[in-house]
Amino acid sequence: MKCPRCLNTDPAYFYHGSKGWYCRRCIQFSRVLLEEEKNPVSLSTIPEHAEEYTLKYPLTKDQSRISRQCAEGVKESDVLIFAVTGAGKTELVVESIASALKRKQKVCFAIARRQVVLELQQRLQEIFTESLVIAVCGGHTAITDGDLIVCTTHQLYRYYQAFDLLILDEPDAFPYRGDAVLHGIAETACRGHRIYLTATPDEQLLNQVKQGTLIQLKLNSRPHGHPLPVPVLFCAPEGFLLIRLLHWIHAHSNHPRMIFVPKIIQAERMGKALNLILGKCDVCTSHTEARDDVIQHFRSEPAGLIVATTVLERGVTVPGADVCVYEADSRIFDEAGLIQMAGRAGRSFVSPEGDVLFLLKERSLLAERCVSVLKEANTSCGV
Ligand SMILES: [Zn+2]
């Protein structure tokens, strides 16, 4: 027996209710019988001119090349766009989306995080002015059909075999990463091909590339052409780290500054302390209520200061930001996370350099690897 929705085959998860068989592994999404899960949803057809789009800025030469190769490649195969943080990933798939819409194909853009869904829906609506772009995520589930659907990976359960093109943004991010049910649901929602977009692909995707089942397109430069900021490592006992941190905050006082810490409790304590010392500091963790408002406030300040946990490691772009990772040697951070956090810096045309500091209590191979990965990306694109 196999669940058509999450592809579970473990007999322990199946049970027989009064009406028939259910899969318990994906029952949190909706309680339907196994045979009902196979019902394809009927989605509206794509209207004329839906593929028309306008980009605010022209693509760079490298972006255009990847964009074209992706639109061609995805007609025949799944594609991995392996692009450094800040490379303008959304722009890279606009041509592929347009080409699918022109062929009257249904397209979905799925993202692990809700907050990014809402932002991306707006951006795509501004690009595809002739299409109805809808967001489907927690709090936005009344309308589930549009010409172009942007949703959280959690909402994909609604779309059995519905999409000809499924774009999975940052498949290596929590909670999609390593979640077999979400992977199964994403698999069955798509009847065509997939595009994976990430700066930090996991082993599974890289293995598919090696096996030849996934086309890899690599982009190592940002649109402004400046090198990626490479973290400076500073290793010392805790007391020294705090002094170094205060010095760093001061030295970058004309830029927005993001400080990442491993634990929620540290973020809260450090936020309070910095508030006392400096008079202002935002805090953002998974416990923060009205997180969107906090981020909005931080963004609105020309030289704001925020202490955050990994909740902000992806998806948040603050032009001109500098980044410090406190206790970057903590086991809570992985290599992908460190690269993503460093990647928050230097993303704007006005201030493309960005400064990244990793504060460590002990030497860390992961932090050192992160430095060499970023240096290598800079070397390979000749900047
Ligand atoms: Zn299931």
Structural domains in the chain plus CATH codes? 1-39 (no CATH), 61-219 (3.40.50.300), 232-380 (3.40.50.300)
* pLDDT, mean over the chain: 93
pLDDT confidence band for 380 (50 / 70 / 90): confident
pLDDT confidence band for 84 (50 / 70 / 90): very high
Q: What angle do CA 293, 294, 298 make, to 5 degrees?
A: 115
pLDDT confidence band for 352 (50 / 70 / 90): confident
- Of 345, 323, 333, the C-alpha closest to 249 is 323
pTM over 0.95: no
Q: Which pLDDT score is estimated for 225?
A: 86
pLDDT confidence band for 382 (50 / 70 / 90): low
Q: How far is the CA of 335 from the centre of ligand 1 (A)?
A: 31
3-state secondary structure of 346: coil
Q: How far is the CA of 6 from the centre of ligand 1 (A)?
A: 4
Q: How far is the CA of 136 from the centre of ligand 1 (A)?
A: 21
pLDDT confidence band for 354 (50 / 70 / 90): confident
Return the higher-pLDDT residue of 75 and 317. 75
Q: Which residues of 83-107 are buried (b: 16+ CB within 10 A; e: fewer)?
A: bbbbbbbbbbbbbbbbbbbeeebbb
Over residues 15-20, the mean pLDDT reads 91
Between CA 354 and CA 184 the distance in angstroms is: 39
- Return the minimum-mean-pLDDT range out of 32-46, 119-133, 292-306, 330-344: 32-46
Between CA 243 and CA 229 the distance in angstroms is: 23
pLDDT tens figures, 217-233: 999 999 888 889 999 99
- The answer to whether the beta carbons of residues 110 and 231 sit under 8 Å apart is no
Q: Which pLDDT score is estimated for 215?
A: 98
Q: Which pLDDT score is estimated for 309?
A: 96
pLDDT confidence band for 310 (50 / 70 / 90): very high
Q: Which pLDDT score is estimated for 240?
A: 96
CA dihedral for 184, 141, 316, 334, sign (positive or negative): negative
Q: How far is the CA of 18 from the centre of ligand 1 (A)?
A: 18
Q: What angle do CA 56, 58, 60 make, to 5 degrees?
A: 140
Residues around ligand 1, an ion, CB closer than 5 A: 3, 5-6, 8, 23, 25-26
- Return the minimum-mean-pLDDT range out of 14-18, 28-32, 55-59: 28-32
Q: How far is the CA of 181 from the centre of ligand 1 (A)?
A: 7
Q: Which pLDDT score is estimated for 47?
A: 95
The two most distant CA atoms of the chain are separated, in Å, by 68
How many other CB atoms are found less than 10 A from the CB of residue 246? 14
How many other CB atoms are found less than 10 A from the CB of residue 294? 18
Over residues 281-299, the mean pLDDT reads 92
pLDDT confidence band for 316 (50 / 70 / 90): confident
- The answer to whether the beta carbons of residues 166 and 186 sit under 8 Å apart is yes
Q: How far is the CA of 23 from the centre of ligand 1 (A)?
A: 5
Question: Is a pLDDT exceeding 90 seen at residue 207?
Answer: yes
Q: How far is the CA of 67 from the centre of ligand 1 (A)?
A: 35
Q: How far is the CA of 99 from the centre of ligand 1 (A)?
A: 33
Return the higher-pLDDT residue of 28 and 163. 163
Q: How far is the CA of 29 from the centre of ligand 1 (A)?
A: 9
Q: Which residues of 319-351 are buried (b: 16+ CB within 10 A; e: fewer)?
A: ebbbbbbbbbbbeebeebbbbbbbbbbbbbeeb
Q: How far is the CA of 102 from the centre of ligand 1 (A)?
A: 33
Share of the chain above pLDDT 70, in %: 98
Over residues 71-97, the mean pLDDT reads 95
Question: Is a pLDDT exceeding 60 seen at residue 383?
Answer: no
pLDDT confidence band for 248 (50 / 70 / 90): very high
Q: Which residues of 223-245 are buried (b: 16+ CB within 10 A; e: fewer)?
A: bbebbbbbbebbbeeeeebeebb
